């Protein structure tokens, strides 16, 4: 086993060697611009881009013509939200989302709200699940888009996407989902789920960074977006800019590999995740699972350790790469807004750590992580006066319970 151990796959994944092998030719001899249609270098690059487009589409049950290349899921989310808001402004100006979305959804929503749109942010329950009934009530005749993520990047909770999609179809509202954490790692079919726009990213599926895609439905209904980036009319006018051919090839290959091994990989990663969780919860008391206990993405484990601060905890096991929140947040020491939305108290929120395992994680690494995390928590709690006070309270309660459950005292004799 090699140290350090990487357990932050929700932040990014390592590039699969097979993906790198697919990319290398397009970093060397096949370096053409996919928009250069006057010679073989450009034709070869264009063929590679179209093949990758088909690989992405196959994973989600779409057509290759419905895939638009972007620089990542953040850009895809911006195109979906800002683009729909601009294109359909004559039809309505209302968008619905929910409180635990990634900032790449919440910030564009805030932006369009500043420019005349109305945004409804739905609450979630204690597990981070949005209520479709509340969504139904929030939709009005001015609603043009609902944006609800598939799997949460911090707590792993999976939303009822199929039910939400059917509701949106019934009300004639477009439905966008950020599938960055679930794309190619959970079964997705955009038709069956009623999804009209879907965002995904290469570096979450063992592909390169700096590339992503946006699925845009072409029929039933045909979805149109105003471009966010202008200059050249690439990607059917939706996203201008010279395509990153090597990265696109890599993302396509990564998606293909995930699709081929999806069922087996879900089973394997889920087993490792549960082994990790059981190891922690068996040994440590005052430990809380954040997110839905069963309806969560396979690789995510978000745990709060009471009486311990998350940043201090991670310093104690610096040979394990984990996260105290979203990797995309600029102020990681702030309490997680996702955990706050679940009603997790500040103490538990401050003691939260996100572990996320992946394709190359081993049982040996998981067992090592269990030992290191438990030992660190125990050591920090031993130095915590708050923890000692809590233990003393528990001892007193147990003593009182034992006394009340014991034999009754004999009656007092007559007083003299």
The residues assigned a catalytic role are 328
**Token pair of 76 as six digits:** 């895809």
Question: How far is Cα 212 from Cα 201, in angstroms, rounded to an integer?
Answer: 4
Q: Could you tell me the sign of the dihedral formed by the alpha carbons of 83, 88, 94, 99, in that order?
A: negative
Question: How far is Cα 256 from Cα 278, in angstroms, rounded to an integer?
Answer: 32
Question: How far is Cα 200 from Cα 153, in angstroms, rounded to an integer?
Answer: 12
**Token pair of 85 as six digits:** 């808001």
Burial call 115-145: b when 16+ CB within 10 Å, e when fewer: eebebbbbebeebbbbebeebeebbeeebbb
Question: How far is Cα 250 from Cα 26, in angstroms, rounded to an integer?
Answer: 10
Cis (ω within 30 of 0) for the bond into 27? no
Question: How far is Cα 300 from Cα 11, in angstroms, rounded to an integer?
Answer: 11
Nearest to 163 by CA among 59, 295, 342: 295
Chain-centroid distance, C-alpha 111: 22
Query: What stretches of 14-150 show up as alpha helix (H) in DSSP?
Result: 17-23, 40-60, 73-87, 103-114, 132-138
Cβ-contact 130, 148 below 8 angstroms = yes
User: How many other CB atoms sit within 10 Å of the CB of residue 372?
Assistant: 16
User: HSE of 37 in the Cβ direction (CA atoms, 13 Å)?
Assistant: 1
* Contact residues for 129 (Cβ-Cβ < 8 A; gap 6+): 157, 159, 160, 292, 295
Does residue 252 sit in helix, strand or coil? helix
């Amino acid at each position: 086993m090699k140290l350090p151990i990487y357990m932050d796959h929700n932040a990014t994944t390592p590039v699969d060697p097979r993906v790198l092998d697919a990319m290398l030719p397009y970093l060397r001899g096949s370096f053409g611009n996919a928009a250069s249609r006057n010679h073989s270098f450009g034709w070869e690059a264009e063929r590679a881009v179209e093949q990758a487009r088909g690989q992405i589409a196959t994973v989600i049950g779409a057509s290759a013509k419905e895939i638009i290349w972007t620089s990542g899921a953040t850009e895809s989310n911006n195109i979906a939200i800002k683009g729909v808001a601009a294109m359909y402004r004559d039809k309505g100006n209302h968008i619905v989302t929910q409180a635990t979305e990634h900032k790449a959804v919440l910030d564009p929503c805030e932006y369009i709200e500043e420019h005349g749109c109305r945004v409804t942010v739905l609450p979630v329950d204690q597990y981070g699940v949005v209520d479709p009934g509340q969504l139904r009530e929030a939709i009005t005749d001015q609603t043009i888009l609902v944006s609800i993520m598939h799997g949460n990047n911090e707590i792993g909770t999976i939303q009822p996407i199929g039910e939400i999609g059917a509701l949106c179809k019934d009300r004639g509202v477009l439905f966008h989902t950020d599938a960055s954490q679930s794309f190619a790692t959970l079964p997705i079919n955009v038709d069956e789920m009623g999804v009209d726009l879907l965002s995904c990213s290469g570096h979450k599926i063992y592909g390169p960074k700096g590339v992503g895609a946006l699925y845009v439905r072409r029929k039933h209904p045909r979805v149109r977006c105003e471009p966010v980036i202008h200059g050249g009319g690439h990607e059917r006018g939706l996203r201008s800019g010279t395509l990153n051919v090597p990265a696109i090839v890599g993302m396509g290959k990564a998606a293909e590999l995930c699709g081929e091994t999806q069922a087996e990989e879900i089973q394997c990663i889920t087993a490792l995740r549960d082994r990790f969780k059981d190891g922690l919860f068996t040994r440590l008391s005052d430990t809380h699972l954040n997110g839905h206990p069963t309806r969560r993405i396979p690789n995510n484990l978000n745990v709060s350790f009471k009486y311990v601060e998350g940043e201090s905890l991670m310093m104690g096991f610096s040979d394990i790469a984990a996260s105290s929140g979203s990797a995309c947040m600029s102020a990681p020491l702030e309490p997680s807004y996702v955990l706050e939305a679940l009603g997790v108290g500040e103490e538990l929120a401050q003691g939260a750590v996100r572990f996320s395992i992946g394709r190359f994680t081993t049982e040996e690494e998981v067992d090592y992580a269990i030992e290191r995390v438990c030992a660190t928590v125990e050591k920090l709690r031993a130095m915590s006066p708050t923890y000692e006070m809590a233990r003393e309270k528990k001892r007193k309660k147990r003593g009182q319970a034992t006394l009340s459950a014991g034999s009754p005292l004999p009656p007092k004799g007559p007083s003299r």
